[in-house]
Amino acid sequence: MKVIEVENLSKSYRIGLRKEAYFSLREDISNFIRNPKDWIKNRSKGNFWALDGVNFSVEEGEVLGIIGLNGAGKSTLLKILSRITPPTEGRAVIRGRVRSLLEVGTGFHPELTGRENVYLNGAILGMTKKEIESKFDEIVEFAEIGQFLDTPVKRYSSGMYVRLAFSVAAHLEPEILIIDEVLAVGDTAFQKKCLKRMEGVAKGGRTVLFVSHNMSAVSSLCNKAILLSQGKIKKQGRTDEVVNEYLSLDGGSSSQISWSLEDAPGSDTLKFKSVKAVNEKGEVSQNIKKEDPVIVQFEFWCLKKSKMNPVFHIYNQFGSLVFYATNLHDKKWGKKEYAPGLYKCSCRIPANLLNEGTYTVNAYLSSDISMPADAIAEPAVFFRIYEENSEERIIYMPGQHLGAIRPLLEWQTEKL
């Protein structure tokens, strides 16, 4: 059953026409009669279309990722679906109770305590007091704000606010849960906790709309996605295909990043010039086969004679640290000093090590391992590991393979 149907949805805002905004209806009609072409031209040039002819539908139990660059129209779409703002044209049909978590501060009364806001939100969703009480302990435990439960939420930190807001939204069982990038306010551990909870919500047959710039989270959580660009749907369908399209956009997440000497992260000793994820051919690549190695490359400036130790951390789509790499296992690297100049170092991640999924690289340069890093880029770059659906895999190894790594190991069986 379709729980959301969006048909020709458009939203425009009037901009840059302060004088015209004070015209009376009589003046507007008079101007139209005198010169209809100029009237239409003047009216349209002051309109900004945040959404323009958007069409899509969502089935019950689907998790839809909504992605796009800043200003693409994502937040406007969610506000319309949440009934916060009306559309200019078109319609959005919603079947079911909706709970939205769009930005810090929405949905809570600042003067009420955390406890009172839980009951208020439940009542807004049409739940009885008994239904709310049956979920209350789970909400408080998940939000980790027990000792502040009877404190007015206006005194909460942004992190506490988000934890409680998400916990309320996820546990009070709306049929449709809408989540914006607000989760970025929480720490990494809580973001991971939220993603797992949203997976549980989806498996329970409820529908989730998820907006994020974290392609790892979108890839792991969503079974369908739409890509918005300048208020229009550029692509919709399978999540991996939509994510790949997003990554090809100018300004999307990338498997390379570079800086000028003036803007580069670093100290007066070491500075990054670039960080890249490349394939075996040395080509920058956002998508690398599981059967191929991934090479992480640093280019850096050494501004004065010093030691240099590169380090990078690899995180998976759940925010878990898969491993970290450094050259300090070899004593010669720890003692080596570099003359001023531009350098490149590379680290090869073997083929058939990482599981399918999306990965984030945090990069660091250090001249003294006993001190904080000189140069920090976190996150630096992103890449995706994929496996083609070969005939052998479909027959012998169907489905998703769990685990952060998936090495190709040798097996031996013998009769005893």
- The answer on 199 and 342 residing in a single domain is no
Whether 30 is in a domain gets the answer: yes
| pLDDT on residue 214 | 73
How many folded domains does the chain comprise? 2
Token pair for residue 205? Answer: 């047959």
- The answer on 235 and 298 residing in a single domain is no
- The answer on 43 and 71 residing in a single domain is yes
- The answer on 169 and 141 residing in a single domain is yes
- The answer on 275 and 237 residing in a single domain is no
Whether 123 is in a domain gets the answer: yes
Whether 110 is in a domain gets the answer: yes
- The answer on 241 and 261 residing in a single domain is no
Whether 407 is in a domain gets the answer: no
| pLDDT on residue 37 | 59
CATH number, domain of 206, equals 3.40.50.300
Q: Give the chain's residues under pLDDT 50.
A: 16-24, 251, 390-392, 394-396
Domain end position, chosen among 189, 219, 246: 246
| pLDDT on residue 389 | 57
- The answer on 305 and 214 residing in a single domain is no
- The answer on 236 and 270 residing in a single domain is no
- The answer on 236 and 339 residing in a single domain is no
Which residues span the domain enclosing 291? 256-386
- The answer to whether the beta carbons of residues 177 and 207 sit under 8 Å apart is yes
CATH number, domain of 305, equals 2.70.50.60
| pLDDT on residue 43 | 54
- The answer on 207 and 78 residing in a single domain is yes
| pLDDT on residue 45 | 54
The 10s digit of each residue's pLDDT in 241-280 is 888 777 666 545 578 889 999 889 999 999 999 999 999 8
- The answer on 351 and 262 residing in a single domain is yes
